[in-house]
Amino acid sequence: MTVDTYRPLARGLARAWRVSESWVFARELLDQPAAIGAIWPSSSRLAARMASRVPRHCDGLVVELGAGTGAVTRALLSDGIAPRRLVVIERSTRFVGYLRSRFPGIRVLHGDAARLAELVPPDHPIDAIVSSLPLRSLPPKVAAAIVAQWWAVLPAGGTVIQYTYDLRARGLASLPGFMERASDIVWANLPPARVMALECSRADPRFAPAAGD
């Protein structure tokens, strides 16, 4: 047997995996359209751009929010993030089951990003938050609570990576407590998306979450 013998089998398996990924995504989209906020899983180009914005030469946690069917998770792992550094937080029961079977070596936590501080392992510094959350289609109060949690868990200099379908997107760039470090458009996605990398600045007092938030 040569490598060529296995190639069609590998291709067939990869195709079957993509079909099941789209099927799981479509079912969840029908059930929870606002929480999904996307018409299709992230493209490999978008996922790779998100992963490329994670700072290198760090050893803290990388927390992925709203992993869906794992397009960005896969890109983070391919880009060299060690599985022990990756913590995935997802609110959908269906996606959590899918992610756990697809990525058995990483921590996939079932929970709400608005309660991030309670979910992340204590005493582990977080280097980056990689978010696919649909902040624009979530209720504004929920989106604000999620952003407040970013600020609560990140150290000064920590990074947030978020994409949006609003290609003009100035909203996140002007978030108190964060400075924009990079922002560019990925056209090869349905629809095209802007990827932003923000740096957490602990010095901005306007954004300290109120007690009890």
Ligand X SMILES: C[S@@+](CC[C@H](N)C(=O)[O-])C[C@H]1O[C@@H](n2cnc3c(N)ncnc32)[C@H](O)[C@@H]1O
**How many Å from the N-terminal Cα to the C-terminal Cα in the chain?**
61
- Between 71 and 106, name the residue whose CB sits nearer to ligand X: 71
Beta strand 86-90 with 61-65 is parallel
Closer by beta carbon to ligand X, 41 or else 158: 41
Min dist CB 184 to ligand X, Å, is: 18
User: Least CB distance from residue 9 to ligand X, whole Å?
Assistant: 26
Q: Yes or no: say if 120 and 87 are a contact pair by the CB < 8 Å rule.
A: yes
Give the Cα separation of 86 and 138 in Å (integer). Answer: 25
Q: Exposed e or buried b for every residue in 37-68, given b needs 16+ CB within 10 A?
A: bbeebbbeebbbbbbebbbeebeebbbbbbbb
Q: What are the residues binding ligand X (CB under 6 A)?
A: 25, 35-38, 41-42, 65-66, 68-69, 71-72, 89-92, 95, 112-114, 132-134
For residues 17 and 2, what is the distance between their CA atoms, to the nearest angstrom? 24
- Report whether 164 contacts 194 (CB < 8 A): yes
CB of 97 to ligand X, least distance (A): 12
Least distance (Å) from ligand X to the CB of residue 44?
10
> Using the 8-state DSSP alphabet, how is residue 205 labeled?
G
The least CB distance from residue 52 to ligand X, in Å, is 15
Q: What are phi and psi of 82, to 5 degrees?
A: -65, 140
Closer to ligand X by CB, 57 or 141: give it.
141
- Residue 35 or residue 204: which is nearer to ligand X going by CB? 35
CB closer to ligand X, 157 vs 191: 191
Closest separation in Å from C-beta 192 to ligand X = 14
> Distances in Å between the alpha carbon of 161 and those of 144, 155, 182?
16, 15, 9
| Closer residue to ligand X (CB): 69 or 159 | 69
